């Protein structure tokens, strides 16, 4: 009875992803190997969770430019808690996540409460959180070594790291929340017509604050993963990350105007970005070509995705005939 729309919506994106994988596999003998995929698996958790938070923010027609800085702030806090204060990892993680949550809360509270464009508020936070990261670390990278290794190293039984498992869990839960819960509906509704939501007796302000707080929290979680991956707390981490995150979300078809989006597609967007980067690096193409190709593929992916509906229908028809 219910129409399952997702598969055909994701189809264009999956096709782009597969085409890229195919292309790189043909171009580079090393691409289609377990090692490459393990490498990818190490890289994507951070961008994944941050892009999930960004998906929610874009859904309510906001934007969060501060994610890269907030991530750096959170890993800075964790680094200092472990290296300078000698606290155990769980305490550090808690401190990091709380920092992220607070930064997000401020973003949300200021923008929702005073109706200031989130672009401006989070641009301010981009500077503030970066300053904070420099402040707490005194602009010095902290090396943490084995203290944080557990986050990023594969669990023997599963062959994948806790970071990746958590990141995928975040994707699944976030998609579930978006499509099945009251909160998800409210996000879509606020992104579509905030005034209508208000006039239906639902105060959009707390929900918006919640969304930004979650985005901050997920940036913090991204910081945790980054820490596990690099075993280093670097106050300069994540410069420009906001653009990659937004790119992943938008490639995934979420509208910048709000009201429409999918977390799963965001994840495919993250994979597309990661595959392009990895593939080009493995081919060792020159920096100018790398830039030009990356740019062209981003545009092409979205362009191709425009045609996902016709392509989806066509494929759907084919499949059902068989």
Asked if 27 touches another protein (CB under 8 A), the answer is: no
Asked if 105 touches a copy of itself (CB under 8 A), the answer is: no
Of a copy of itself, another protein, none, which one does residue 250 interact with (CB within 5 to 8 Å by kind)? a copy of itself
* Touching another protein, residues 222-251 (CB under 8 A): 226, 229-232, 234-240
Asked if 302 touches a copy of itself (CB under 8 A), the answer is: yes
Residue with token string 């075993």: 231
Instruction: State the sign of the Cα–Cα–Cα–Cα dihedral 123, 125, 128, 134.
Output: negative
Q: Of residues 172, 198, 303, 309, which one binds a copy of itself by CB under 8 A? A: 303
Cα 54 to the center of its chain, rounded Å: 6
Asked if 291 touches a copy of itself (CB under 8 A), the answer is: yes
CB of 197 to another protein, least distance (A): 7
- Let me know: does 229 contact 46? Beta carbons within 8 Å: yes
CB of 131 to a copy of itself, least distance (A): 3
Task: Give the C-alpha separation, 70 to 75, whole Å.
Answer: 9
Provide φ and ψ at 233, rounded to 5°: -105, 115
- Let me know: does 213 contact 105? Beta carbons within 8 Å: yes
* Touching another protein, residues 62-91 (CB under 8 A): none
Of another protein, a copy of itself, none, which one does residue 292 interact with (CB within 5 to 8 Å by kind)? a copy of itself
Q: Of residues 89, 121, 209, 280, which one binds a copy of itself by CB under 8 A? A: 121
Asked if 139 touches a copy of itself (CB under 8 A), the answer is: yes
Contacts 24+ apart (CB under 8 A), 157-166: 160/41, 161/41, 161/42, 161/45, 161/228, 162/228, 163/42, 163/45, 163/46, 163/224, 163/225, 163/228, 163/229, 164/41, 164/42, 164/44, 164/45, 166/45, 166/49, 166/221, 166/225
The binding track of 57-96 with respect to a copy of itself, each residue x by CB under 8 A or -, is ------x-x-------------------------------
Provide φ and ψ at 143, rounded to 5°: -95, 130
Query: Which positions lie near a copy of itself, rule CB under 8 A?
Result: 63, 65, 110, 114-117, 119-121, 123-132, 134-135, 139, 240, 243, 246-247, 250-251, 255-257, 287-292, 294-299, 302-303, 306
């Amino acid at each position: 009875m219910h129409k399952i729309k997702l598969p055909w919506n994701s189809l264009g994106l999956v096709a782009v992803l597969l085409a890229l994988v195919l292309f790189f596999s043909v171009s580079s003998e090393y691409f289609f190997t377990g090692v490459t995929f393990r490498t990818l698996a190490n890289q994507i958790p951070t961008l994944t969770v941050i892009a999930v938070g960004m998906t929610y923010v874009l859904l309510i027609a906001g934007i969060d430019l501060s994610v890269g800085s907030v991530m750096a702030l959170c890993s800075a806090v964790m680094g200092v808690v472990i290296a300078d204060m000698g606290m155990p990892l769980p305490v550090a993680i808690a401190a990091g996540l709380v920092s992220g949550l607070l930064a997000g809360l401020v973003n949300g509270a200021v923008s929702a409460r005073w109706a200031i464009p989130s672009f401006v508020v989070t641009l301010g936070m981009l500077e503030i959180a970066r300053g904070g990261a420099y402040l707490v670390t005194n602009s010095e990278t902290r090396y943490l070594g084995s203290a944080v290794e557990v986050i990023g190293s594969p669990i023997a039984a599963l062959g994948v790291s806790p970071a990746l498992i958590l990141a995928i869990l975040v994707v699944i839960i976030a998609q579930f929340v978006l499509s099945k819960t009251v909160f998800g509906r409210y996000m879509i509704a606020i992104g579509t017509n905030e005034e209508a939501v208000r006039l239906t007796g639902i105060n959009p302000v707390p929900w918006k604050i919640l969304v930004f707080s979650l985005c901050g929290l997920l940036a913090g979680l991204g910081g945790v993963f980054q820490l596990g991956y690099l075993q280093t707390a670097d106050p300069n981490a994540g410069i420009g990350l906001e653009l990659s995150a937004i790119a992943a979300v938008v490639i995934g078809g979420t509208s910048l105007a709000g009201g429409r989006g999918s977390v799963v597609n965001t994840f495919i967007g993250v994979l597309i970005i990661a595959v392009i980067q990895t593939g080009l690096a493995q081919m060792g193409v020159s920096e100018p070509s790398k830039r030009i190709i990356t740019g062209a593929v981003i545009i092409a992916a979205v362009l191709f995705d425009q045609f996902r509906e016709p392509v989806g229908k066509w494929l759907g028809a084919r499949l059902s005939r068989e």
